[in-house]
């Protein structure tokens, strides 16, 4: 199955790259001039619109140039017409400006979320990464699960398992966070659940580990303690 898929995709790739490659450079007569504002939400439209955003904006321009000509002619004739047209143009510019502002706001918000998730040391993803590293270097875990250990979180409907289930709560004025993810080793059938809890350290401002437990799903259920600072 994958081989036939690869061959089929290759044939369509050769056909499609010719149509795809100039898509970013071609200006008018391209797709979706209006979809750039919903770019984060529509996957397909976003792909196309990102490549042709310049085309969309340029396509809106020729109307203004024709209006420039008519405004100059109106200046020669009556000032009333040009005032009305100026008001219309100002209204149109204002709407465009608001739309651009909304787009920038949404994009900025999404960038902030993704940066906080990936780079801040208090994000669940970072804690999950650190805990997974500790699991990987623990000899007992290696003994049970084998050498290469892979970790994953909760499964979404599409099958991607990126979301790590976590709960944040405040206790005694300090923030705690509890995580749960799953690990699996090379030996088949051996799956484990890792429970991690971290507590906020007020002096350094970072999270430090309180405990890391691994439940192994074998018949006599074992619990391996990696770290316990309670």
Partner 1 sequence: MEEYAREPCPWRIVDDCGGAFTMGAIGGGIFQAIKGFRNSPVGVNHRLRGSLTAIKTRAPQLGGSFAVWGGLFSMIDCSMVRMRGKEDPWNSITSGALTGAILAARNGPVAMVGSAAMGGILLALIEGAGILLTRFASTQFPNGKEPAEDMSQ
Q: By the criterion CB under 8 A, which residues form the site for partner 1?
A: 1-2, 5, 9, 12-13, 15-17, 19-21, 23-24, 31-32, 39-41, 43-48, 50-51, 107, 109-114, 117-118, 125, 128-129, 132, 148-153, 155, 158-163, 167, 169, 171, 178, 182, 191, 193, 195, 197, 211, 213, 223, 225, 228, 230
Q: How many angstroms separate the CA atoms of 87 and 100, rounded?
A: 20
Nearer to partner 1, 33 or 58 (CB): 33
Q: Supply the minimum distance, in Å, between the C-beta of residue 82 and partner 1.
A: 31
Nearer Cβ to partner 1 (90/104): 104
Minimum CB distance to partner 1 smaller for 43 or for 69: 43
* Minimum distance from residue 51 beta carbon to partner 1 (Å): 7
Say which residues have a Cβ less than 8 Å from residue 50's Cβ, sequence separation at least 6.
Answer: 36, 39
CB 153 within 8 A of CB 161: yes
What is the closest distance, in whole angstroms, from the C-beta atom of residue 58 to partner 1 in the complex? Answer: 17
The DSSP annotation for 99-147 comes to: HHHHHHHHHHHHHHHHHHHHH-TTSHHHHHHHHHHHHHT-HHHHHHH-S
Q: Which is nearer to partner 1, 69 or 170 (CB)?
A: 170
- Cβ proximity to partner 1: between 41 and 100 the closer is 41
Select 87 or 101, whichever has its Cβ closest to partner 1: 101
Q: What is the dihedral of CA 104, 106, 108, 110, to 10 degrees?
A: -150
**H or E stretch covering 16:** helix 2-20
Q: Compute the least distance from the CB of residue 197 to partner 1, in Å.
A: 7
The residue (of 89 and 195) whose beta carbon lies closer to partner 1 is 195
CB 17, min distance to partner 1, A: 6
Q: How far is the CB of 94 from partner 1 (least distance, A)?
A: 26
Ramachandran assignment for 3, one of left (phi > 0), alpha (psi -120 to 50 degrees), beta (any other): alpha
- Minimum CB–partner distance for residue 218 and partner 1 (Å): 15
CA distance linking residue 53 with residue 107, whole number of Å = 15
Long-range contacts of 104-111 (CB under 8 A, 24+ apart): 106/37, 106/40, 107/39, 107/40, 110/40
Which has the closest alpha carbon to 181: 150, 203, 206, 211? 150
């Amino acid at each position: 199955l994958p081989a036939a898929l690869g061959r089929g995709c290759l044939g369509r790739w050769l056909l499609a790259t010719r149509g795809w490659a100039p898509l970013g450079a071609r200006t008018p007569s391209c797709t979706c001039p209006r979809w750039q504002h919903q770019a984060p939400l529509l996957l397909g439209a976003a792909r196309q619109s990102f490549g042709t955003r310049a085309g969309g904006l340029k396509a809106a321009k020729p109307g203004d140039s024709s209006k420039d000509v008519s405004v100059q002619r109106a200046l020669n004739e009556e000032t009333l017409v040009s005032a009305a047209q100026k008001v219309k143009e100002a209204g149109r510019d204002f709407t465009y400006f608001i739309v651009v502002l909304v787009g920038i706001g949404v994009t900025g918000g999404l960038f902030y979320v993704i940066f906080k998730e990936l780079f801040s040391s208090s994000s669940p993803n970072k804690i999950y990464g650190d805990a997974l590293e500790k699991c990987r270097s623990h000899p007992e875990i290696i003994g049970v699960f084998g050498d290469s250990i892979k970790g994953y979180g909760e499964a979404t409907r599409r099958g991607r398992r990126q979301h790590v289930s976590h709960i944040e709560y405040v206790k005694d004025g300090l923030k705690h966070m509890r995580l749960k993810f799953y690990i699996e080793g090379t030996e088949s059938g051996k799956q484990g659940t890792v429970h991690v809890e971290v507590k906020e350290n007020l002096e350094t401002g970072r999270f430090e580990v309180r405990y890391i437990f691994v439940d192994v799903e074998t018949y006599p259920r074992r619990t391996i303690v990696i770290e316990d600072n309670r």
